[in-house]
Structure 1
Amino acid sequence: MPGGLLRAEKGGATAFACVALAGLICLTLLVGQVGAVVVARHRAQAAADLGALAAAGALAEGAEVGCAQAGEVARRMGARVSRCVAEQWDVVVTVEANVALGVFGVRTVGGAARAGPVDPDG
C-alpha cells in the first residue's frame, strides 16, 4: 500500500509553501515598520540639530527669538519642539515627531541637540 500513503500526503508541500510565504510576508512588513521608525528617528534628530543651530544663531536677539527660530525649523522638517532651554550662549532643543505604523498605530520619536560656542579648553 505504498501508493495509498503517497496519495494521503498530496498537497502537503503546497500547504507548507503557503504558510512559509505568509510568514515571509509578515517578516517583510515588520522589517519595513522598523525601518520607518529608524528613518523617523533620524529625521527627528536632524530637526533637533538644525533647530539648535538656528536657536544658537539667533540668541543675540533673545532666548524667545532663538527658541522661535528652533520651532520654525522643526516645523518645516515635520517635527515640533517639545523643549527649548537657553542658558547664556548654549541652547538645548528637544523635538518630537509622529510616525505612522499602519496597523500598529502612531508612535512618537524624538531627538535632542545642544548648540553653542566652541569651548577652546575642551
Structure 2
Amino acid sequence: MRRGRGKEKGSASVLAVGVASVSLVCVAAAGAVGEASVGRASVATAADAAALAGADTLAGFVVGDACEIAARAARVNDARLESCSVTGSEVRVVVGAMILGVAVTSRARAGPPPG
C-alpha cells in the first residue's frame, strides 16, 4: 500500500529543471566574467604596445609622429588611442575599448627609466 506518493508525482522533474536553470545561469555568468577579464588584459596589452611604439618613434627606430604610430598600434590591437602625450623621450598613452558593452581604459608609459 502506497500512501502519499500521489502528491509528489513529477516533483523530481521540477527540481531537475530548476537545478539545470541555475546551472546555466552560473555558467553564463562565469563566461561573462572570463570574457571581461580577457578583454581587460587585451586593452592593457594594447596600451603597452601603443606606448612602446610611440617610444620607438622617439628613439628613431620608427619614422613618423609618436602619437600617430601609437594610435596605429592601438588599432592593430582592436583598441583606440584616447590620449597621447610626449614629454622629452617619454610617451604616455590612454587606450580604450568596449568590452561587453562597457568602456574599458588602460594607461601605459614607455621611455627611458626614470631617474
User: Same-fold call, TM > 0.5?
Assistant: yes
Q: Which residue of 2 aligns with 1:33?
A: 32
Q: Which residue of 2 aligns with 1:70?
A: 70
Q: Which residue of 1 aligns with 2:103?
A: 108
Q: Distance in 2 between matches of 1:75 and 1:22?
A: 40
- Amino acid paired to 1:5: G
Q: Unaligned stretches of 5+ in structure 1?
A: 101-105
Q: Unaligned stretches of 5+ in structure 2?
A: none
Q: Percent identity?
A: 32
Q: Secondary structure at the match of 1:8?
A: coil
Q: Distance in 1 between matches of 2:104 and 2:30?
A: 17
Instruction: Give, in angstroms, the shift of residue 4 of structure 1.
Output: 3.8
- Amino acid paired to 2:75: R
Q: Which runs of 4+ in 1 moved over 6 A?
A: none
Equivalent residue runs for 1:39-118 within 5 Å? 39-59=38-58, 65-100=65-100, 106-118=101-113
Q: Which residue of 1 aligns with 2:8?
A: 9
* Residues 25-57 of structure 1: per-residue CA shift (max 9 Å, x gap): 011001101111111110000000010001011
Structure richer in helix, relative to its length:
1
Q: Which residue of 2 aligns with 1:103?
A: none
Name the count of aligned residue pairs.
Answer: 112
Q: Distance in 2 between matches of 1:6 and 1:17?
A: 18
RMSD (CA atoms): 1.7
Instruction: Give, in angstroms, the shift of residue 3 of structure 1.
Output: 2.6
TM-score, normalising length from structure 1? 0.84
Q: Distance in 2 between matches of 1:21 and 1:112?
A: 42
TM-score, normalising length from structure 2? 0.89
Q: Distance in 1 between matches of 2:97 and 2:17?
A: 38
- Amino acid paired to 2:68: A
